Amino acid sequence: MSIEPSTRRGDQIVSATRFIPVEAEVIFELLADPSRHADIDGEETVQSARGPKRLGPGATFGMNMKILGVPYIIKNTVTEFVEGRVIEWRHFGNHRWRYELEPVEGGTIVTESFNWKPSRFPPMYEWVGYPDRHEVGMAATLERLEAVLTT
């Protein structure tokens, strides 16, 4: 199956989509393990994880992050969890990161999205340029996800 990687923007959501020639369950296992997020982070801000080995409904976990050389810790809460198909979490600012997996012949269509609409102050995300940066970063994340799973 040939599906070109793509990005999309609309209504305070940016997303990236990519076909990965791996079963959805295998991809989901990696995404549900926060200790693996540094391996796939296309923005290279995730350093390591704190918390459970595997995420589930309502789970909380932390990430050791670094941006522009400045380290910080962020706490996340899983807000949606459908085994093998959907995992979403929110940060303290209430913005959401989400992965959706759609099994198709020969692999999985993976969509990662960043939704700042439910955040505490949505205009701030636009002002600091997060949508543009995350759009590029998500495409890189999905490329790295495929590389980690297929090499």
Q: Is 80 helix (H, G, I), strand (E, B) or coil?
A: strand
Radius of gyration of the chain (CA): 15
Q: What are phi and psi of 31, to 5 degrees?
A: -65, -30
Does the pLDDT at position 7 exceed 70?
no
Q: What is the pLDDT of residue 8?
A: 61
Would you mind telling me the total number of residues written for the chain in this entry?
151
Q: What count of Cα atoms within 13 Å lies in the side-chain half-sphere of residue 146?
A: 17
Please report, for the chain, the start and end positions of each structural domain, with discontinuous segments joined by +: 6-150
Of 150, 147, 127, whose CA–CA distance to 139 is shortest? 147
CA distance 13 to 116: 6
Q: What is the mean pLDDT of the chain?
A: 90
Tell me the whole-structure pTM to 2 decimals.
0.89
CA distance 85 to 5: 19
CA distance 49 to 58: 17
Mean pLDDT score, 78-83: 98
C-alpha pair distances (Å), 117 with each of 5, 58, 112, 124: 24, 20, 16, 11
Mean pLDDT score, 117-142: 81
Class of domain 6-150 as given by CATH: alpha beta
